[in-house]
Structure 1
Amino acid sequence: MATQHDVLRELFVTGLRNVHAVEHQALSIMTPQVARIEHYPEVADRLRLHIEETNGQIARLDEILAAFDTSGSTLKDTALGLSGSMAAIAHTVAGDEIVKNSFANYAFEHFEIASYMSLLVLAEDGGFVHATPLLRKSLGEEEDMARWIGEALPMVTRRYASLYAEHGSGTAKA
């Protein structure tokens, strides 16, 4: 019969693998966006920074998983990475691509925030104290990115509207 600690360990490791895959999905969403952004350099710069942060988050998750003698799930990483790529591609045909990407990125950051918050609860309840500083660092980065997107959304929307008025949707989108 599994103990409470065994159950928490299993749930924690599963959660770590899931978030590991989510971070790979984030990379597959952000990377094509950066390559397409032309008229919104602030967004491109912030996405580049967050891509670096995301790579660091994956490394921290790898470190935590290694402490449990396991690793991320290649299948989950690949599947979510592909779904992220498909989501990024879907927005490229939209006339308001930059606005739609901003909405999606804002929602995705909050999904990641909730994921890290949940992992922290499991880490604390399971006594996995070695993981909490690493998870808190990643949580802080996700909160900072979500805050930045929220603060930048008015600028993105206004610039999109201005470019659209001047040149039409083709120039305004990215």
Structure 2
Amino acid sequence: MATSARDIFVVGLRNAHSMEVQARELLERQSERLDDYPQVKAKVRAHLEETNGQLKRLEQCLESCGETTSSLKDTAQSIMGNTAAMLNAMAGDEILKNTFANNAFEHFEIAAYKSLLELCGAAGMESARAPLQASLQEEQEMAAWIDANVGNVTREYVAHEARAA
């Protein structure tokens, strides 16, 4: 059965919404445990606010298609986000594991938004281009910040461990 570009676009929007639900859960759990890393905590909280905006933009895109989010996908991704954060919290090097995971997740989000942007024209949804581009830009900025700060976070972790010893 052939699937139209619009159908693929709608599925992509639902998947992106679920992806952002997972991101929100990860960021919320991580921000609760970053008191020893105030710069990272501030950036995670700022990106959490961006993520909430991204969720709203995706909901608006879905509404403009006459569609809604997928409660099943959102719930599954919420559970996955909380589970991943909980597993990393049990590790002694939680900050490093979260930094690496966040780096990978940001690039996953970037690819998802690039795919949706590619579909806008074929799906007849040019009106979604600007909100999706805004979300892509936020994800690219967060990915760049993480990339630029892996070394700093690693050094801060080593210093923190030395103080605790």
For the aligned pair, the TM-score class normalised by the smaller chain equals over 0.9
Please name the residue that 1:155 is paired with. 152
Deviation, structure 1 residue 124:
2.6
**What amino acid sits opposite 2:44 in the alignment?**
L
Q: Give the distance between the partners of 1:125 and 1:91, measured in 2 at CA.
A: 40
Does residue 1:74 correspond to 2:59, yes or no?
A: no
Please name the residue that 2:20 is paired with. 23
Please name the residue that 2:47 is paired with. 50
Percent identity between the two aligned chains: 47
Deviation, structure 1 residue 127:
3.0
Please name the residue that 1:36 is paired with. 33
> Which one of the candidate residues 57, 60, 69 is aligned to 2:57?
60
Q: Give the distance between the partners of 2:160 and 2:42, measured in 1 at CA.
A: 20
Deviations 1:47-82 (A, max 9, x none): 111111001001000111001111110110000010
Please name the residue that 1:171 is paired with. none
TM-score normalised by the chain length of structure 1: 0.92
Q: Give the distance between the partners of 1:126 and 1:92, measured in 2 at CA.
A: 41
Please name the residue that 1:172 is paired with. none
Q: Give the distance between the partners of 1:143 and 1:124, measured in 2 at CA.
A: 22
Please name the residue that 1:94 is paired with. 91
How large is the RMSD of aligned CA atoms in angstroms?
1.2
Gaps of 5+ in 1: 169-174
1:94-173 matched pairs, under 5 angstroms: 94-168=91-165
Deviation, structure 1 residue 83:
0.5
Residues 103 and 147, structure 2, Cα contact 8 Å, conserved in 1? yes
Secondary structure of the structure 2 residue equivalent to 1:162? helix
Residues 6 and 124, structure 2, Cα contact 8 Å, conserved in 1? no
**What amino acid sits opposite 1:52 in the alignment?**
E
Number of aligned positions between the proteins: 165
**What amino acid sits opposite 2:63 in the alignment?**
A
Deviation, structure 1 residue 165:
1.8
